[in-house]
Amino acid sequence: MLVITKIGRQKNNPERYNIYLNEEYAFAVDEGTLIQFGLTKGKALEQFDIDEITYEDEIAKAFNKALHFLSFQMRSEYEVRKKLLDAGHGEAVVLEAVRKLERLGFLNDETYSKALLETKKRTASKGPRAIKQDLIKKGIDKNLQEQVLETFTHKEQVEIALQLAEKEVRGGKGRTPTQIKQKIQDVLVRKGYSFTIVQEVLDQMTIERHDDEWQHLIEAQGDKLWRKYSAKHTGRNLHMKVKQALYQKGFPVEIINLYINSKESEE
C-alpha cells in the first residue's frame, strides 16, 4: 500500500507541491490538482490513482502554459496546440487542455478570426485575399475563414483601398499619372484586393499634371533614358528608343516631341 507521508511546497514554484509516498519522493502536482484529488498526509493511493493524478496534473501544466502564452496576445487554437506539442506535451493532454481553454472562454477561433480581420484592416490596410492568407497561416477552418471574410463589405474595401491610392498620389509628385496608377494597382494587388476593387478605385482617381509639371517630369526621366540609351544608340535610333520609353511611362506625345526636339538642338 502506498501512503502519502509528506507534502512539501516547492521552493522555486510555490504553486506546486512535492508528494512523498512511503517516505520517498513520488511526483509533483500543482495546487489545483492537490485540492481536486484531496491529497493529504496519510491518504492511501493505488497505482491507478497515481496514474490519474499525474495525468490530470500534466493537463494542468499544459493549461497553465497555454494561459501564459495567451496572456501576451490572442491566439488561434492551432497556435496553442503547436506551442504545447512543441513543449513536449502529448496529443491527449493537449486536447484536454485546449478543450478546457475553450470551455472557459480563453480560446475561441471565431472571436480570434474577427479580431484578426479588424486588426489587419485597421493597422495594415489589407484586403480580403491577404487576410485570408493570414487566417490560413493561423490554422483557421476554411468555412470560418469564409464566414469572417464575408463581413468585410465591398464598401469598406473601396474606402480602405482609396486611402492607399490617395497616399500613392501624394507621394507620386515625381511620376506621371500613368506611373502613379500603375503603382496604385501594384500596391492594392499586393495588399490583397481583387482586380474589381482595383479598377473601381482607379476609375475614381483623377490625376492631372500642368504644363510646367510635365516639363519638369520629362526632363528628369527623359535625361536618364537619354543617358541610358545613348551608350548603345545614336541618331534616329536613339530618338525612337527614348520616345518609346517615355510613351510607355505615360508622357503625352506632344510633350515627348518637344523634349526630343530640344535634345536634337543640343546635338
pLDDT tens track for 67-108:
999 999 999 999 999 999 999 999 999 999 999 999 999 999
164 to each of 45, 167, 190, 195, 250, how far by Cα in Å? 67, 5, 12, 15, 21
Beta bridge partners of 20: 6, 25
The pair phi, psi for residue 30, each rounded to 5°, is: -85, 175
Q: In this predicted structure, what is the pLDDT of residue 212? A: 86
Between residues 15 and 131, which one has the greater pLDDT? 131
For 109-149, CATH number? 1.10.10
% of the chain at pLDDT higher than 90:
85
Q: In this predicted structure, what is the pLDDT of residue 173? A: 87
The whole model's pTM is what? 0.82
For 154-204, CATH number? 1.10.10
Cα torsion 225, 229, 235, 241: sign: negative
Each residue's pLDDT tens digit, 156-183: 999 999 999 999 999 988 899 999 999 9
Domains 109-149 and 154-204 share a fold: yes
Arithmetic mean of pLDDT over the chain:
94
Which sequence spans correspond to the domains of the chain?
Answer: 109-149, 154-204, 212-266
In this predicted structure, the answer to whether residue 211 has a pLDDT above a threshold of 90 is no
How many whole angstroms separate alpha carbon 64 and alpha carbon 77? 15
pLDDT-derived band at 233, boundaries 50, 70, 90: confident
How many whole angstroms separate alpha carbon 54 and alpha carbon 41? 17
pLDDT-derived band at 235, boundaries 50, 70, 90: confident
In this predicted structure, the answer to whether residue 3 has a pLDDT above a threshold of 80 is yes
% of the chain at pLDDT higher than 70:
99
